Structure 1
Amino acid sequence: MLRSMYSGVSGLRIHQTRMDVIGNNIANVNTTGFKSGRVTFNEIFSQTLQGASGASENIGGRNPMQVGLGANISSIDTLMTEGAAQRTDNPLDMKIEGEGFFIVSDAGGFKFTRAGAFRLDEVGNLCNPEGLNVMGWGVDPNTGNIIKDKVNKIKILSAENMYSEPSMTKNITVSGNIKKNDPELADGLTIQLPIYDSLGYKYNVDFMVKKNAKSENQLDLTIMDNSLKDINGVKIGSTSNKLPDGDIPKTITFDTNTGKVVSAAADGSDTQLKIALGSTPTGFSEFSQPIIVDFAGLTLFNEDTTIEGFGGDEDGLGAGAPAGELTDYEIGTDGKILGKYSNDKTKILGQISIAKFKNPAGLQKVGNNLFQVTNNSGEFNGIGTDVTADGGSLNGGVLEMSNVDLSREFTDMITTQRGFQANSRIITASDEMLQELVNLKR
């Protein structure tokens, strides 16, 4: 009877612990990134009253006789299944699609979380609500590429990220239509080409299109000498800015059937001009290389003349730009933070890395939706992993909800309550049996 009473006591204890875990799960049903717990039981050592015996010629074998001594908690597991997505439209909210944890850090070292509710602090660091710095990789200032080395705190609004450096114009594309009967072609039709020097100062260069004296389907193109002007149209002193020898003028030929520019050179060089400018009047900026002007996109249709020039090649590269201020930023599905600037330029500001563990269920909860490594979780190498390495991604403007399943929790609550109730009945029944035993003395 005492054995049964102690078994009932053990049953009460383990079901109380299970109810504690269920209560915690339900309390955190709306906690961002929360991972629910699960309790499993096992039986305690059994007392053997009689051992097993084998069969003989005259008698069969007998099974052992044992009395169990109650139940014990086998494990309290953290379920690492992925929670559902909750849309917030906050650009700094993120959800990991797949495995892994965000890496955050404070004075105590690295912590890990699935809760991606981040924000900027007063100096521009990306942090979680408790002020822990979100960790990731920086950018090589020379190449602009991500350096996948030891993780550091991500500072979006750092001094170097607040502006975009100016860039010199390398390519200009001239496009549009030229009406071959346009009267202005006789004396030369002039348009302005926009260019930027190495410090982002903007100038215009006069570009002339003129009829070829020998053929109606040919035009002569040239950059006019001393044609460098500031943004107000004022000619820059007596600076001579000429094309390399042999490029004045450039004669282009149009196909008589299609009205498009014909190119005989494999590299398209016969449809290009080169502007060699050298030093500029700002005194300390320069054009360190010739500017390529491509006019392969011109046509000779019977429409109004609409010729114009714009910076950049057909892919928009080499356009040149002044310095720009940071106006916006966004975090891509690969964790890269893209800055957008007032000069229409973009650049990578950093990349959020994640941590993966061989046994994520072995991580230990330390509060505030945070985990830390244990001897059974696997170590963090201090570098992290690209979220896309195993097919994962970051979902911006979305948070991961708790993975608590209320239907399961309420079902477990009922069975736990019944288990607790049944074990209490064991204690009551054992007490009554003991009372009857004591009453035998009467």
Structure 2
Amino acid sequence: MAFQQGLSGLNASSMALDVIGNNVANSSTVGFKAANAHFADVYANSLGGSGATQVGIGTSIAAVQQQFTQGNLTSTSNPLDIAINGNGFFCMSTANSALPSYTRNGQFHVDKMGYIINDQKQQLMGFAALADGTVPVAGTLTALNIPPGTMAPRSTDAALSGNMTAVLNLDSRQGVPTVATFDPSNPQSYNYSTPLTVYDTLGNSHAMTMYFARASAGGPWNVYATLDGVSATTPPTAVGTLTFNSSGVLTTTPTTLTMPSWTLSTGAVSPWSPGKMDFAGTTQFGSTFSRDRVTQGGYTTGSLTGVSVAADGTVQGNYSNSQTKGIGRVALATFQNPNGLLSMGNNQWQAVEAVSGQANIQAPGAGNSGLLQSTQIEESNVDLTKELVNMITQQRNYQANAQSIKTQDQIMQTLVNLR
């Protein structure tokens, strides 16, 4: 029986060395998870035997368990290199298989059709953005695709742009301009001016300038506006009036003034108005004129210049007009028993529901899912020093089992040589 025991030990040590060798070979494989060989003793069934007299007949490999511990994160220069910091797997789809696969290797790039893929041409799955650019946190899994073409412009007066805003301080010490009739070409006819770039319905930019002229000593301020240096009316008329109380607080109600309409020759909607300017927060204190904030929500057309991925999985397109647009959200899958996953090679696993449980698909950061880190990759979690020590241990085990076979052989030879 010692032959069988020694042989089982040789087989078990050999398989353990295979596991160690595979770990060492993949010590530089991105997203690889190290495995451990689990041993179990072997006993023969006996109807009349008892624990006091049983002798084992060897050992066997009970299981090879992967260790899904976190690997170190390393920075890269590719914004589509994504590391998972915590639990979860990327969901991948391929045209050659109806079943999704799962991976921790986040080295992605874009194919000619705009899909985010890995080195095996599998597509990264997630939740697609809605038509208005809103990125959902759940929904139907779909292959994430970076849309081609340019971003359409948005005019300053569009509903999504909101009102223009201006937060200013008009110096209360100022008097009435020396020239009574407003003329944008004559600085003596107004106290202050401030410019703002606005966009028409085709995304053409226009220089809108607002002018502020004191109507009377200690009194309100008349507001005028020009577009590309042209007044909307001849002679120019005030857009409205801003009135302040004795504490310098704006009392004009509502705080918005509607800009006039101008005739355009750009092919955009004409006549056209940039919309309403909200002066909420504007003051009249005894200090110099200041422009704290002047904003508008329109923009011109833009070309895609890059892609970024946020910690919550949001994939955004970055455009040449300084705008961003939601493309989708990377989805992560978690499992009740990751060791029940079936290894497919290429750092891919497939779910075996009877063992691993069903995939729980959710956004990064939701539930027990980890967060994402862009321009990072997750290194193999193999501890090379530990594996080399384990290799020495298994080598000694192999030698010891070989020695037990050799000793049994010598005993048998002695019995054969008895006279």
TM exceeding 0.5: yes
Q: Aligned with 1:371: secondary structure?
A: strand
- Please, what TM-score do these two structures have when normalized by structure 2? 0.84
In structure 2, what residue type is equivalent to 1:124?
G
Q: Does 1:120 align with 2:105?
A: no
| Structure 1 residues 203-244: Cα deviation after superposition (integer angstroms, max 9, x where no partner) | 45564422223xx332232346xx5x44xx4567x899999x
Q: Does 1:172 align with 2:164?
A: yes
Aligned partners of 2:250 and 2:280 also within 8 Å: no
In our comparison, the structure showing a higher alpha carbon Rg is 1
By how many angstroms is 1:298 displaced? Answer: 4.3
Aligned to 2:148: 159
Aligned to 2:357: 378
User: Pairwise CA RMSD of aligned residues?
Assistant: 3.1
By how many angstroms is 1:436 displaced? Answer: 1.3
Aligned to 1:88: 76
Aligned to 1:129: 119
Alpha carbons of structure 1 residues 366 and 308: separation in structure 2 relative to 1, 3 Å: closer
By how many angstroms is 1:385 displaced? Answer: 0.9
Aligned to 2:184: none
Pick from 348, 354, 359: which aligns with 2:326?
A: 348
By how many angstroms is 1:16 displaced? Answer: 0.4
| Structure 1 residues 326-376: Cα deviation after superposition (integer angstroms, max 9, x where no partner) | 223211111101222222222211111111111111111111111111231
Aligned partners of 1:218 and 1:254 also within 8 Å: no
Q: Does 1:252 align with 2:230?
A: no
Q: Indicate the percent of aligned positions where both proteins have the same amino acid.
A: 30
Give distance in 2, aligned partners of 1:385 and 1:329. Answer: 22
Give distance in 2, aligned partners of 1:32 and 1:205. Answer: 54
Pick from 414, 422, 425: which aligns with 2:400?
A: 422
- Please, what TM-score do these two structures have when normalized by structure 1? 0.80
Aligned partners of 1:47 and 1:68 also within 8 Å: no
Pick from 14, 17, 21: which aligns with 2:15?
A: 17
In structure 1, what residue type is equivalent to 2:113?
V
In structure 1, what residue type is equivalent to 2:363?
D
Q: Aligned with 1:148: secondary structure?
A: coil
Give distance in 2, aligned partners of 1:242 and 1:340. Answer: 41
Aligned to 2:25: 27
Aligned to 1:291: 276
Aligned length: 399
By how many angstroms is 1:291 displaced? Answer: 1.5
Aligned partners of 1:363 and 1:376 also within 8 Å: yes
By how many angstroms is 1:200 displaced? Answer: 2.4
Give distance in 2, aligned partners of 1:209 and 1:164. Answer: 34
By how many angstroms is 1:141 displaced? Answer: 0.2
Give ranges in structure 2 of 5+ residues lacking alignment.
181-188
Aligned partners of 1:193 and 1:309 also within 8 Å: no
Matches within 5 A, 1:3-402: 3-46=1-44, 48=46, 51-52=49-50, 64-106=52-94, 107-108=96-97, 109-142=99-132, 144-146=134-136, 148-156=138-146, 158-159=147-148, 162-169=150-157, 170-179=162-171, 180-181=173-174, 184=177, 186-187=179-180, 188-189=189-190, 191=193, 193-205=196-208, 207-213=210-216, 216-223=217-224, 227=226, 229-230=227-228, 233=229, 249-253=240-244, 255=246, 260-263=248-251, 269-275=253-259, 277=261, 285=269, 290-294=275-279, 296-303=281-288, 305=289, 310-312=294-296, 319-374=297-352, 375-380=354-359, 384-390=361-367, 392-402=370-380
By how many angstroms is 1:283 displaced? Answer: 6.3
In structure 2, what residue type is equivalent to 1:196?
Y
